[in-house]
Structure 1
Amino acid sequence: MRILVCKDYDEMSQKAAQMISSQVMLKPDCVLGLATGSTPIGMYKKLVQMYQEKMIDLSEVTTFNLDEYLGLSKDNEQSYHYFMQNHLFDHVNVKPRRIHIPNGNTENVDDECNFYDQLIAKSNGIDIQVLGIGNNAHIGFNEPQISFEKGTHVVELDDSTREANARFFETLDEVPKQAITMGTGTILKSRKIMLLASGRAKAKAIYDTVHGHVSPEVPSSILQFHPDTVLILDEEAASLLSEKDYKRL
Structure 2
Amino acid sequence: MEVVICGSGEEIGRHVADVYEAVLRGPAPVIGLATGSSPLVAYQELIRRHREDGLSFAGATAFLLDEYVGLPLSHPESYAAVIRRELTDHVDIDPARVFSPDGTAADLAAECARYDAAIAAAGGVHVQLLGIGTDGHVGFNEPMSSLTSRTRPKTLTRQTREDNARFFDSVDEVPTHVLTQGLGTISSARHLVLVATGSAKAEAIAAAVEGPLSARCPASILQWHRHATVFVDEAAASRLEFADYYRHTLAHKPDWQGF
With the shorter chain as reference, the TM-score category is over 0.9
Q: Which moved more, 1:5-14 or 1:108-117?
A: 5-14
- Once the two structures are superposed, residues 118-175 of structure 1 have per-residue CA deviations (whole angstroms, 9 ceiling, x without a partner) of 0011011111110000000000000002633521000000111000010111111000
CA contact (8 A) 2:80 2:100 kept: yes
Distance apart, 1:243 and its partner CA: 2.5
> Take 1:78 and 1:149, find their aligned partners in 2: how far apart are those partners?
28
Query: What is residue 4 of structure 1 aligned with on the other side?
Result: 4
Question: Given residue 38 of structure 2, which amino acid in structure 1 is its aligned partner?
Answer: T
Query: What is residue 88 of structure 2 aligned with on the other side?
Result: 89
Query: What is residue 227 of structure 2 aligned with on the other side?
Result: 228
- Once the two structures are superposed, residues 59-107 of structure 1 have per-residue CA deviations (whole angstroms, 9 ceiling, x without a partner) of 0011001001111011101110110110111111111221111111111
Query: What is residue 123 of structure 2 aligned with on the other side?
Result: 124
Question: Structure 1 residues 167 and 245 mapped into 2: Cα distance closer, same or farther (>3 Å)?
Answer: farther
Unpaired runs of 5+ residues, structure 2, are 252-259
> Take 1:125 and 1:107, find their aligned partners in 2: how far apart are those partners?
26
Query: What is residue 17 of structure 2 aligned with on the other side?
Result: 17
> Take 2:71 and 2:169, find their aligned partners in 1: how far apart are those partners?
15
Question: Given residue 53 of structure 1, which amino acid in structure 2 is its aligned partner?
Answer: E
Counterpart check, 1:206 vs 2:208: no
Distance apart, 1:31 and its partner CA: 0.6
Question: Structure 1 residues 107 and 134 mapped into 2: Cα distance closer, same or farther (>3 Å)?
Answer: same
CA contact (8 A) 1:28 1:58 kept: no
1:53 aligned counterpart, secondary structure: helix
Matched positions, count: 248
2:53 aligned counterpart, secondary structure: coil
Query: What is residue 37 of structure 1 aligned with on the other side?
Result: 36
> Take 1:237 and 1:246, find their aligned partners in 2: how far apart are those partners?
14
> Take 2:20 and 2:145, find their aligned partners in 1: how far apart are those partners?
33
1:187 aligned counterpart, secondary structure: helix
Query: What is residue 254 of structure 2 aligned with on the other side?
Result: none
Question: Given residue 4 of structure 2, which amino acid in structure 1 is its aligned partner?
Answer: L
Q: Which moved more, 1:12-21 or 1:189-198?
A: 12-21
Distance apart, 1:227 and its partner CA: 0.8
Query: What is residue 243 of structure 1 aligned with on the other side?
Result: 243
> Take 2:92 and 2:27, find their aligned partners in 1: how far apart are those partners?
12
Distance apart, 1:19 and its partner CA: 1.4
Query: What is residue 176 of structure 1 aligned with on the other side?
Result: 175
CA contact (8 A) 2:205 2:237 kept: yes
CA contact (8 A) 1:3 1:245 kept: no
CA contact (8 A) 1:64 1:99 kept: yes
> Take 1:4 and 1:214, find their aligned partners in 2: how far apart are those partners?
20
Report the RMSD for the aligned CA atoms in angstroms.
1.3
**Highest relative contact order (Cα 8 Å, sep 6+), 1 or 2?**
1
1:236 aligned counterpart, secondary structure: coil
> Take 1:104 and 1:230, find their aligned partners in 2: how far apart are those partners?
30
Q: Calculate percent identity across the aligned residue pairs.
A: 39
Question: Structure 1 residues 245 and 159 mapped into 2: Cα distance closer, same or farther (>3 Å)?
Answer: farther
1:193 aligned counterpart, secondary structure: strand
Counterpart check, 1:153 vs 2:155: no
> Take 1:50 and 1:222, find their aligned partners in 2: how far apart are those partners?
31
TM-score (norm 1): 0.96
> Take 1:28 and 1:44, find their aligned partners in 2: how far apart are those partners?
21
Query: What is residue 165 of structure 1 aligned with on the other side?
Result: 164
2:195 aligned counterpart, secondary structure: strand
Unpaired runs of 5+ residues, structure 1, are none
2:179 aligned counterpart, secondary structure: strand
> Take 1:245 and 1:17, find their aligned partners in 2: how far apart are those partners?
25
- Once the two structures are superposed, residues 193-214 of structure 1 have per-residue CA deviations (whole angstroms, 9 ceiling, x without a partner) of 0001011010011101111111
Distance apart, 1:223 and its partner CA: 1.1
CA contact (8 A) 1:64 1:100 kept: yes
> Take 1:199 and 1:167, find their aligned partners in 2: how far apart are those partners?
17
